[in-house]
Amino acid sequence: MIHPRLTFALSIMEALAIFAYAISGFIEARERRLDAVGTFLVAMATAFGGGTVRDVLLERRPFYWVQHQGYVIAIFVMSLFAPVVLRATSRLISQRALLVADAIGLGLFSVSGTSMALDAEMPRFTSVMIGVLAGVFGGVIRDVVCNEVPLLLRDSRPYATCAFVGCALYVGLDYLQFDNVYAVLIATGFILLARLVTFRFDVRLPH
Amino acid sequence: MIHPRLTFALSIMEALAIFAYAISGFIEARERRLDAVGTFLVAMATAFGGGTVRDVLLERRPFYWVQHQGYVIAIFVMSLFAPVVLRATSRLISQRALLVADAIGLGLFSVSGTSMALDAEMPRFTSVMIGVLAGVFGGVIRDVVCNEVPLLLRDSRPYATCAFVGCALYVGLDYLQFDNVYAVLIATGFILLARLVTFRFDVRLPH
Amino acid sequence: MIHPRLTFALSIMEALAIFAYAISGFIEARERRLDAVGTFLVAMATAFGGGTVRDVLLERRPFYWVQHQGYVIAIFVMSLFAPVVLRATSRLISQRALLVADAIGLGLFSVSGTSMALDAEMPRFTSVMIGVLAGVFGGVIRDVVCNEVPLLLRDSRPYATCAFVGCALYVGLDYLQFDNVYAVLIATGFILLARLVTFRFDVRLPH
């Protein structure tokens, strides 16, 4: 299961996901007009909330962000300058950027969470759930802290559903003994595309 | 302290409490018009939130819901069909159902939490507190995630107070070396009745 | 690093911080008109929320409040009588009391959190972050549970910023091998003063 290429691919994925989620935290923080430290805390919670819950559930220590101090410092420096950068972009673009950044993070965190849960010998359905939690929890914390009903719940467009199907796809490919690097890429790409396509064509879940 | 009948009784209690809380999550999710995955996540947080906090505090691993994948799958299947089932019941019944389901869960989770804390050799007052937390925390998460002031805080009718008195009663019976099965049943029944009776006669706490 | 005077000073600090935060929980609970048990739960979350998160991150067990049952009982007894005590004070005084109590807790919890993180051999920047989290997290939980946008985010007056600068100051003094007792006192005093002075002169952060 552990595989140098996969380990490397997972590291890159995690880095991308962290920055994508941090940016969605910056955008939320700008709308709330937070100062640099507040922006930093919301960005940290968004970026590392899902991964920290995953690590608590799988008893992985030290936490990813404790071990990789570089990410924390990078997000700190970015949050000092983020308002300047973000203020330049128009409202429309920021809405789209929020969506795409969120979709990238959703795919990357969900699939890597499921992969780590399978590595930790969790049962298959539980692994899918831990993946979905790893993907959506940062955004839920971001919205709860900013006193909004989480985007996850407000919106009838499929979000956790995309992550759920993608993680189940990953578990299926893993069961069929697909090469892990391809399984990760296929499942992540599926979630990203599913989120963007269902959003574009305004697919809504029945309720 | 560990006793085959008690272990069995605690397993049955936990199963009942999990489904009672999941149903209160379904009702909340229906009011928010969530899709199946959103419903599932809220039901899971309501059902396992208190128990997970209890397990973190008592360092019990793996988490109950990780070990018993069956509950997770059962709640998942129920959340696919829950809207259909719940939509059939009228508003009045769902309000009453919410109350009774909540009261059952409150009694079962609080007393089993206190019992596990005593087994883990926590001091008596701390055991009562962990029991109350195990009982009320799932509902607090449900309400916080749905961006409501928790029912626990909104309402001057005794709720955590019932759990507190019932858990203290359990600790007292345990101190008097009552048979554990009876102590659990008496304390759980006390909390259920106290909640329903104080609600029925609209008893309100001073504040 | 461990030093009998420092250990003693940290114990005193932690006791003061716990009561200061519990009081800010009482004030919030009074505004929400909670009953005694609700008041107790909010006070507990405010007082021990930051320390519990710190202990989870640093893997310190048992939790401070589990080990020191006395604090839990003291806060419980206080929450039975708190409404009576607090109701006597006027609105103006309670606002000021909230501020000062909060500033004391902020200074004490942040610096002791950073100190414990350094003792646990966390890297320096991470230690500053854990200190800030230990200082602000109780208040964030208090506000989130009461369904308010956390004071931390609502307010453009420096709050987490004060804790951040004070914790960085402590790390700097520690690096310069300052006597720990003085380093703790200087950094804590700095945070307390910085918070009160910036509040008094209505200093606001750009956003």
Q: Tell me: pLDDT of A153 over 60.
A: yes
**Chains with ≥3 Cβ pairs under 8 A against B?**
A, C
User: In this complex, which of C125, C136, C161 lies closest to A69 when CB atoms are compared?
Assistant: C125
How distant is the Cα of B30 from the closest Cα of chain C, in angstroms?
Answer: 21
pLDDT at C89: 52
pTM over 0.90: no
Nearest to A190 by CA among A204, A172, A205: A172
Please list every residue in chain A whose beta carbon sits closer than 8 Å to the beta carbon of residue B141. none
Q: Tell me: pLDDT of A169 over 90.
A: yes
Q: Tell me: pLDDT of B89 over 70.
A: no
Q: Tell me: pLDDT of B139 over 80.
A: yes
pLDDT bucket at B126, cuts 50 / 70 / 90: confident
pLDDT at C166: 96
pLDDT bucket at A127, cuts 50 / 70 / 90: very high
Average pLDDT score, chain C = 82
According to the per-residue pLDDT averaged within each range, which of A159-168, B48-57, B153-162 is highest? A159-168
According to the per-residue pLDDT averaged within each range, which of B4-8, B21-25, B157-161, C164-168 is highest? C164-168
Please list every residue in chain B whose beta carbon sits closer than 8 Å to the beta carbon of residue A122. 66
Q: Tell me: pLDDT of A176 over 90.
A: yes
pLDDT at C147: 77
pLDDT bucket at B97, cuts 50 / 70 / 90: low
Contact across the interface for C83 and B207, Cβ inside 8 Å? yes
Structural element, H or E, at residue A180: helix A180-200
pLDDT bucket at B1, cuts 50 / 70 / 90: very low
How distant is the Cα of B172 from the closest Cα of chain A, in angstroms?
Answer: 34
Q: Tell me: pLDDT of A187 over 90.
A: yes
User: pLDDT tens-digit profile of C88-137?
Assistant: 555 555 667 667 777 888 998 999 899 999 998 888 988 998 999 999 98
Contact across the interface for C146 and B153, Cβ inside 8 Å? yes
Query: What angle separates helix A160-175 from helix A124-145, to the nearest 10 degrees?
Result: 150
According to the per-residue pLDDT averaged within each range, which of A56-65, A154-163, B53-62, B179-188 is highest? B179-188
Candidates B110, B122, B125, B126, partner chain C, best to mutate (most C CBs within 10 A): B126
User: In this complex, which of A35, A44, A69 lies closest to C207 when CB atoms are compared?
Assistant: A35
User: Can you tell me the distance from the alpha carbon of C42 to that of C25, in angstroms, rounded to the nearest whole number?
Assistant: 6
User: Can you tell me the distance from the alpha carbon of A114 to that of A104, in angstroms, rounded to the nearest whole number?
Assistant: 16
pLDDT bucket at C26, cuts 50 / 70 / 90: confident
User: pLDDT tens-digit profile of A70-119?
Assistant: 888 888 888 888 766 666 554 555 667 667 777 888 998 999 899 999 99
Q: Tell me: pLDDT of A62 over 90.
A: no
**Chains with ≥3 Cβ pairs under 8 A against C?**
A, B
How distant is the Cα of A33 from the closest Cα of chain C, in angstroms?
Answer: 6
CB A6 within 8 A of CB A184: yes
pLDDT at C174: 94
Contact across the interface for B34 and A207, Cβ inside 8 Å? yes
User: In this complex, which of B126, B148, B206 lies closest to C72 when CB atoms are compared?
Assistant: B126
Give the SS3 label for residue A78: helix
Q: Tell me: pLDDT of B20 over 70.
A: yes
Mean pLDDT of all residues in C9-28? 78
Give the SS3 label for residue C132: helix
Q: Tell me: pLDDT of A198 over 80.
A: yes
User: In this complex, which of C37, C69, C147 lies closest to B160 when CB atoms are compared?
Assistant: C37
Candidates C37, C46, C149, partner chain B, best to mutate (most B CBs within 10 A): C37
Q: Which residue has the higher pLDDT, A152 or C26?
A: C26
Contact across the interface for B72 and A129, Cβ inside 8 Å? yes
Mean pLDDT of all residues in A146-175? 86
User: In this complex, which of B56, B148, B161 lies closest to C35 when CB atoms are compared?
Assistant: B161
Mean pLDDT of all residues in B145-168? 83
Contact across the interface for C144 and A146, Cβ inside 8 Å? no
Candidates A35, A53, A80, A146, partner chain C, best to mutate (most C CBs within 10 A): A35
Among A170-174, A201-205, B35-39, B164-168, the range scoring the smallest mean pLDDT is B35-39
Average pLDDT score, chain A = 82
Mean pLDDT of all residues in B106-115? 91
pLDDT at C181: 82
**Chains with ≥3 Cβ pairs under 8 A against A?**
B, C
User: Can you tell me the distance from the alpha carbon of C154 to that of C135, in angstroms, rounded to the nearest whole number?
Assistant: 17
Q: Tell me: pLDDT of B175 over 90.
A: yes
Contact across the interface for B42 and A153, Cβ inside 8 Å? yes
User: In this complex, which of C147, C148, C207 lies closest to A34 when CB atoms are compared?
Assistant: C207
Structural element, H or E, at residue C53: helix C36-58
According to the per-residue pLDDT averaged within each range, which of A21-35, A85-99, B40-54, C29-43 is highest? B40-54
Please list every residue in chain A whose beta carbon sits closer than 8 Å to the beta carbon of residue C59. 61
How distant is the Cα of A94 from the closest Cα of chain B, in angstroms?
Answer: 24
Q: Tell me: pLDDT of C1 over 50.
A: no
